[in-house]
Structure 1
């Protein structure tokens, strides 16, 4: 990219979107805490003044990044609201981890954010917890729709499997690791939905 292109991008509109796009890539590649605001500004590319005009603190940028993820359809949880799939398939798709855009595999961005902001009272940690609570609620509703006798208990078991699979996929750098948890989820669903007697 030449200097003219860079200046044109900096003067043009869309600075906020470029900042969020750059932050998403950097956070995925190297983690939130390892990414500095100057790196984000350079990757966007925007001036530091523009960056701080949109996001006065790094936590503001992280919150915007997480909110953007929530609406992007690229998280594990997004499959739970797909109208084109039946309830059982929605649950089982939790274990089909999204194809990684980067290597290494990063796992669940909400768990990653909660780990990097460990204070449960911080806005970032609280938002991650909110998303994980919503995930369990959505699975509870689907389990109830399927006729599970104890949908909330089943949902907690299933989301624990999904989050565990995402974490192990990251640690082991294996994007297809969810297949192991999916097999366990199929057994849980079969038992929970089997006719009594």
Structure 2
């Protein structure tokens, strides 16, 4: 049974364009064709010129083989390119194409990482959600320190808590530092907040 490579190419250009968060017009501009051409490729009405395939693949962050649905290449960069030491910490990162996406990248509006197990020390460039900050009950939490670029929403933190914006937790065993507000039912250490401090 033969494969329909033109159909696979059409579907994959569309799929990878959407993954890359590009419009027809943006992809067309980046590879030097009219937007109508991209629409024709994706609807399988025409095929891109073979000379354009390397540019299309590069812009979409995939290989030519992936465009045809033939294979999926590993995307793990060499460890020398990673921005941290080999310290045996568990990290979740997002890549867009081959570029490491940082929290402030507008193309990534939301990302959820779920980890089941004991959370020791948690650091995030974005928000940390670790259970609900239920002020009446709940034992979800972090066994060590929590550091967030933006907000922390957590049950209990058994160490220090530091957030660029707000902290909303049930209990913080040690110190709490926030750029704006701290809202917790119990605090075992010092409190420093940019705007308001509320201990229930």
Superposition TM-score tier, normalisation by shorter sequence: under 0.3
User: Counting strand residues as a fraction of each chain, which structure ranks higher?
Assistant: 2
Greater gyration radius: 2
TM-score (norm 2): 0.26
- Write 1 or 2 for the structure with the bigger share of helix: 1
